[in-house]
Structure 1
Amino acid sequence: MSDLRLLGLCGALRAASTNRLLLHEAARRFGPAHFAEADLRLPLFDGDLEAEGIPPEVQALSDQIAQADAVVVCTPEYNKGVSGVLKNALDWVSRTKGAPWRDTPVAILSATSGVAGGHRAQTMLRACLNPFRPLVLPGPEVFVGNTSQKWDDDGRLTDEVGGRMIDELMGLLREAAEDRRARG
C-alpha cells in the first residue's frame, strides 16, 4: 500500500448518500493510499462558541486536512449550492491556526438525482476554497447525474463514462499528491 494519505469529505451526512458512494468509488480509483473519511458532524459555526475555543472535532478535521497528501470532496447540490454541512465545515476550519488547506491537491466530484445537478455546487465550492489556497484540480469535472440508477449492489459505479472521468481525475490527483510529497 502506498503511504499517501487521502482524505475524503462528503457534503451529505446521510449514510446511504450517493455522494458517499461516489467518495468511496473515487478513493478506490485513486489507488493504494491510507484513506480516511472525515466526520463533518460538527456544531454549527458560532462566534460565541469559537470564543470558548475551537471544538475538538473541528480541530481534528483541520489536522486531518493538514496531514493529507490529497483531499477528495464529494458535494451534493442543495438549493443551487453546496450543502450547509460542507459550508459549515469550511467555515470552522477557516478559524483554526495554520493553513491546513494550503497547497493541498483537491478533487471535487458530485452525484445528484437530476441530470445536470452539481455544476453550481462545484462552482460555489471552488469559490469557497479559493481563500485557503489549495491546489484545486480544474478537471475533468465529474458530475454523476441520475445517480440512483448508477450503482450496483456492491456500491460500485456502473456508468462507464463517469468511471473514465473519475479515473482521469483520480490519476491527476495522485500525480499532484506525489509531486507535493516529492517537493517535501
Structure 2
Amino acid sequence: MLKIGILEGSLRSASLSRAAARATASLLPDGAQAVALPNPGTLPLFNQDVLDAGMPDTVASLMSQVEGIDALLIVTPEYNWSIPGGLKNAIDWLSRKNPSPLAHKPVSIWSVSPGLLGGARVHESLRQTLLSQDMIVMAKPEVQIAGAIGKLDVDAGATTNPETEAFLRGHLSAFTAFCNTWTAT
C-alpha cells in the first residue's frame, strides 16, 4: 500500500485547501492510502536556539510521520504570491534532520484559491524549496483549484463539482503511478 502524506498549507480550520486535502482520501485509487499529517500551525517557529535546547515534541512527531510515508501531497493556498509561512516553517523544521525525511520522496502540489488563478504563483517557489530537500517533484500536470468556493464543501471536506472531482481523481491516479515508479527503484 502506497502511503501518501497530506500536508496542508493553511492554518485556518475552515480553509478551502483543508477541504481539498480532506477530500483526497476518497479520491485516491486502489493501492494508495492518505495519511493526514499534523497541521503546520502546531509547530513552533523554527529557531536554532529552540533546536539547540532539544527537538520539540511536535516537530519530532511530524518527522517520524514523514519518515513513515512513501510520498507527499501538499495542498496549499498562495499567500502574497508565495508559500504560506506555516508550511515553509514545517519544511524548515523537517530539513534539520540528517538525512532529511523529505529526501528522495515523490511530491505533488495542489494550490487552492477562491480567485481566478487558483494559487498558481505558489507552485514555483514551493517547487524550488522542495528541490532543495532532494524531493522528486511531479511538476505536470499542475493542480490549481480556482474558484474553489463553488467546487469544495469546507464543512464536509469534499468536492462538490463533478469536473473538479474527475480532474483530481485523474491527477491522483497519475501521481500514484509516478510514486510507484520512484519508490520501486
What TM-score do the two structures reach when normalised by structure 1? 0.89
- Report the AA paired with residue 97 of structure 1: N
Match of 1:143 in 2: 144
- 1:66-81 alignment, distance < 5 Å: 66-81=67-82
Query: What's the counterpart of residue 160 of structure 2?
Result: 158
CA RMSD of aligned residues (A): 1.8
Residue 178 of structure 1 corresponds to which residue in structure 2? 180
Task: Say yes or no: does 1:35 pair with 2:34.
Answer: yes
Shift of 1:128: 0.9
Aligned to 2:125: 124
User: Of 3, 6, 10, which aligns to 1:12?
Assistant: 10
CA–CA distance in structure 1, aligned partners of residues 105 and 25 of structure 2: 16
Are the equivalent residues in 1 in contact too, given 2:18–2:157 (CA < 8 A)?
no
Q: Is the 8 A contact 1:6 1:27 kept in 2?
A: no
1:169 alignment counterpart? 171
TM-score, L = length of structure 2? 0.88
2-side partners of 1:146 and 1:34: how far apart? 27
| Preserved CA contact (<8 Å) 2:72 2:106 | yes
One-letter amino acid matched to 2:21 = L
**1:105 — aligned with what?**
106
State the alpha-carbon separation in 2 of the partners of residues 118 and 17 from structure 1.
13
Consecutive unaligned residues in structure 2, runs of 5 or more: none
Aligned residues: 181
Structure-2 separation of matches of 1:14 and 1:97:
31
SS in structure 2 opposite 1:9? strand
Q: 1:27 to 1:71 in 2, by over 3 A?
A: farther
Q: Contact 1:69–1:180 at 8 Å: present in 2 too? A: no
Identify unmatched segments of 5+ residues in structure 1: none
After TM superposition, the structure 1 stretch with the greater mean CA deviation from structure 2, 91-100 or 160-169, is 160-169
| Secondary structure of the corresponding residue to residue 74 of structure 1 | strand
Q: Distance in 2 between matches of 1:26 and 1:139?
A: 18
> What is the CA-CA distance between 1:163 and the residue it aligns to?
2.7
Identity value in percent:
32
One-letter code of the match for 1:35?
A
**Partners in 2 of 1:98 and 1:155 — Cα distance?**
34
Residue pair 1:139, 1:169 contacting (<8 A) in 2 also: no
Alpha-carbon shift at residue 158 of structure 1 (Å): 2.7
Give the conservation status (yes or no) of the 8 Å contact 1:8–1:37.
yes
Letter in 2 for 1:11: G
- Whether the 8 Å contact between 1:54 and 1:96 is mirrored in structure 2 is no
The one-letter amino acid paired with 2:12 is R
